[in-house]
A and B are shown apart, each in its own frame.
Chain A
Amino acid sequence: MSARMSVIVGLVALVALALVPADLTGLGLPYPGLKRYGTYILTLWLVTAIAAMGVNLIVGYAGQETLAQAAFVGIGAYLTAIAGKHGVPFGLSFVLSGLATFVIGIALGFPALRVQKHYLAFVTLAFSVLCWLVFRNETAVTGGVMGLRDIERPFVFSFQLRRALHFYWFVLVIAALMTVVLWWIVRSPWGRAFTALRENPLRAESLGVDVRLYTLLAFALGSAYGGMAGSLYAPLVEFIDPSPFALGPSLLFMLMVVVGGSGAFLGPFVGAGVAVLLPEWLRAWETWYLLIYGVLVMIMMALAPGGLVGLVEFLVRRRKAQP
């Protein structure tokens, strides 16, 4: 898709997304919008997609592995919740969460990237469990197992975003901005270096691409996206405890990105959509949803490793090829 097409599609998508949960009957249109729950799910989808974008950058573009994204989301969430309790305005917490997780990403990635690729996965795995232990044990700071409750929604110019719809629009704007930033990065020379890295690290290195530096930056930036997603997650749920930030959810982030389409720009949105919405659709088979999800992922890996986006692209190409 050309750049101009992408911009147009993006703007249309943005407007559509803004309108989906809104009650349009006041404007004379027969569309009642979504109730609080539906809006909440949409907002959750956006927040998950932001974190998934981060994973996609690390896994899909830079070709690395991370099993720590949920921990970074947790760091952002706890930072924002604790800062909020001390009166720090949301905007500042959001930026701080991003910066903190970026720095931690650098600190974590720097030594770990000196070794074989799979070892990064294990280092991030260890980091994930360690973070969860800290969240769980340091009760004085994090509220421990009981968590932190009554997290306030942010204020925008002294208007508090209490209503689900208002907070949704707020998150939508932030998500849109973060998507644009990522899109710009991916299309920049920096981003193209990643593709080179992913395809053939040795050749890229011999051509003068500083493999380690780029990979490190990708890892740190991807983790920062996780931290910022966490920063939005805390006021969304208005309550955080350590459970969403354990090892299991980190694994699910990886699955999500691969199911959506690893390395595809829209992959994280699709993957996050599946992860958030699948439990809703499979409501009748509530307890079996994870099992079904696992089976679907395995089948997909064998038949369509490019994920859902890859599958769609394949079908589109095939139709175009037919006379």
Chain B
Amino acid sequence: MIRRIFAGAGLAAVAFAALPAAAQDVVVPAILELSGPGAVSGTMFKNGAAMAVDEINAAGGILGKKIKLEFVDTASDPGKARAAVQRALDDKPIAILGPVYSGSVSATLKLTAEAEVPQIIGGEAAPLTAQGSKYIFRTSFGQNVSMPKIANYIRDGAKAKTVAVVFVNNDFGKGGRDAIMKELAARDIKVVADVSTEAGQADFAADVIKVKGANADVVFVYLNEEESARFLREAKKQGLNKPLIGETTLLGQKVIELAGDSANGVKGHVGLTIDAPIPAIQAFGKKYEAKFGGKPDHNGVKGYIAPYMIKAAAEKAGKLDAKAIAAALHGMTITPDKVPGILIEATWDDTGEIDRISFLGEVRDGKQIITETLPKLKK
């Protein structure tokens, strides 16, 4: 654990080191949450990206030029993120990575759109691709894509008529809650409880009691990692015996580790997971663990594919130019046979939304098991 921190700090130090970038190096700023509430997500993204760039450089770089990532900490604050993006844009980069937090993305996407520089983000909030920017690109599903899939599962798989929704009251949780409410309403499924919780909340007794009282068919849980674990423990303790359904985070490695056996039986949609039955992802997970001393989460995968997106787009466009790269990414499908770093075949549409296969999973005996693979939305 401490080793991982030092490894991460060491990596940051190297990235910052007073080594002058060789004249051939192309600098790509990575504006990420390296401290504050988003520190874990941001650091995972950073590590994944750093690993990808090392691989790309070892294989000759992009169009013959080596890439140098320049990491900047937003401290999980949208104001700082905006300042950092502004500063990065002053140097006219070919692309910008990050932020991960949707609030910070929201604060910065107008800047990159005006500067015509592609911004490859980790944010999942639905509105991000709906604001008309032609320069925003996702690395994982927006909630506008994942929530319909979950709603379908609730309707067809769980066959539920009523749902209790528990969400964390930040940009991630609220966005997800708004999206799922819309999808459930469109499928005539009633939401009988709408419970907001705080980021960092520790005591979920009242929330579980509320959910129990609502007597819904299923409970949709959309919290951050630690809060998910605490909620699951409390639910088990109070004997909440309705199916608990979630999205990626709820079935993730970290939650399983923190919640112990109260995570068993949890089901849900998993957009991106290192436990997917796909050799490329498994290999990535092992590589990451060997390098950084801990398992990655989906933010690590997001960070990893981002530099490969730039590589594929730049090669298609034939030049290391921001505008050309963005244009090339629109409508592009990257397949792992040509670009192994992309891990799973992915397509981007004109709004920057990503289309990929995804999975339905369940937690059994402390492990995430994939029960079904869902196809891409558009073939």
Q: Does A144 contact B (CB under 8 A)?
A: yes
Tell me, rounded to whole Å, the shortest Cβ–Cβ distance linking B123 to chain A.
11
List the count of A-B residue pairs having beta carbons below 8 Å apart: 80
Please state if A241 and B103 are interface contacts (CB–CB under 8 Å): yes
| Chain B nearest Cβ from A76, distance in angstroms | 15
Counting chain B residues whose Cβ lies within 8 A of the other chain, the interface size class is: 20 to 34
- Residue among A239, A243, A279 making CB contact with B82, cutoff 8 Å: A239
* B107: nearest chain-A partner, CB-CB: A239
Q: What are 11 of the A-B contact pairs (CB < 8 Å)?
A: A35-B87, A35-B90, A36-B86, A37-B87, A136-B169, A145-B170, A149-B110, A241-B78, A244-B77, A283-B72, A286-B12
Distance A44 CA – B77 CA, assembled complex (angstroms): 14
8 smallest CB-CB distances across A and B, nearest first, come from A37-B87, A239-B107, A286-B73, A35-B90, A287-B35, A145-B171, A37-B86, A284-B16
Query: Does any Cβ of A come within 8 Å of B175's Cβ?
Result: yes
- With A and B bound together, what is the CA distance between A290 and B34 in angstroms? 13
Assign chain A's interface to a size class. Answer: 20 to 34
- Bound CA–CA A237/B82 (angstroms): 7
Distance from A282 Cβ to chain B, minimum over Cβ atoms (Å): 10
* Chain B residues with CB under 8 A of A286: 12, 34-35, 71-73
Q: How far is the CB of B148 from chain A (nearest CB, A)?
A: 20
The verdict on A293 contacting chain B, using a C-beta distance below 8 Å, is no
B34 touches A287 (CB 8 A): yes
Residues in B neighbouring A44, C-beta threshold 8 A: 83
Q: Which A126-182 residues have a C-beta within 8 angstroms of B?
A: 136-137, 139, 144-147, 149-150
Q: Are A146 and B175 in contact (CB under 8 A)?
A: yes
**Cα separation A41 to B83 with both chains bound (whole Å):** 8
Given contacts A37-B83, A137-B169, A238-B110, contact A147 B78 (CB under 8 A): yes
**Distance in angstroms between the alpha carbons of A40 and B87 in the assembled complex:** 9
Contacts of A146 in B (CB 8 A): 102-103, 106, 125, 127, 171, 174-175
Complex CA gap A279/B102 in Å reads: 23
CA distance A136 to B77 in the complex (A): 15
Spell out A's residues near B (CB within 8 Å). Answer: 35-37, 40-41, 44, 136-137, 139, 144-147, 149-150, 237-239, 241, 243-244, 279, 283-284, 286-287, 290
Is B318 interfacial (CB-CB < 8 Å)? Answer: no
**Residues B106 and A147 in contact, CB atoms below 8 Å apart:** yes
CA distance A300 to B264 in the complex (A): 52
Q: In terms of DSSP, what is the predominant structure of the interface of chain B?
A: helix
The interface of chain B, by Cβ under 8 A from chain A, is: 9, 12-13, 16, 34-35, 39, 71-73, 75-80, 82-83, 86-87, 89-90, 102-103, 106-107, 110, 125, 127, 169-171, 174-175
B35 touching A149, Cβ below 8 Å:
no
**Contact between A284 and B13, CB atoms less than 8 A apart:** yes
Residues of chain A within 8 A (CB-CB) of B103 are 145-147, 241, 243
Known: A44-B83, A145-B171, A287-B34. A239 touches B16 (CB 8 A): no
A243's partner among B39, B78, B175 (CB-CB below 8 A) is: B78
Report Cα–Cα, A238/B111, bound state, in Å: 10
Contact at A239–B78, with CB atoms within 8 Å?
yes
Q: A40-B86, A137-B169, A145-B170 are in contact. Are A239 and B106 (CB under 8 A)?
A: yes
Question: With contacts A137-B169, A237-B107 known, is A145 near B73, CB below 8 A?
Answer: no
- How far apart are the CA atoms of A147 and B104 in the complex, in Å? 10
| B9 surroundings in chain A (CB, below 8 A) | 287
Whether B106 lies near A149 (C-beta < 8 A) is yes
Whether A150 contacts B174 in the complex (CB less than 8 A), given A36-B86, A145-B169, A283-B16, comes out as no
Chain A residues within an 8 Å CB radius of B102 = 146
Nearest Cβ distance between residue A85 and chain B, in whole angstroms? Answer: 15
Find chain A residues with CB under 8 A from B72 CB: 283, 286
Contacts of B12 in A (CB 8 A): 286-287
Q: In the bound complex, what is the Cα–Cα distance between A314 and B316 (angstroms)?
A: 65
Distance between Cα atoms of A172 and B304 in the complex (Å): 43
Q: Is the CB of B83 within 8 A of A40?
A: yes
CA distance A35 to B115 in the complex (A): 14
Chain A residues within an 8 Å CB radius of B90: 35-37
A290 partner residues in chain B, CB cutoff 8 A: 35
Contacts of A150 in B (CB 8 A): 110
Closest chain A residue, CB of each to CB of B171: A145
Give Cα distance in the complex from A239 to B175, angstroms: 18
Residues of B within 8 A of A287 (CB): 9, 12, 34-35, 39, 73
Bound Cα distance A238, B79 (Å): 9
Contacting residues, chain A, for B127 (C-beta < 8 A): 146
| Neighbouring A residues of B80 by C-beta, 8 Å | 279
Complex CA distance for A290 and B36, rounded to whole angstroms: 10
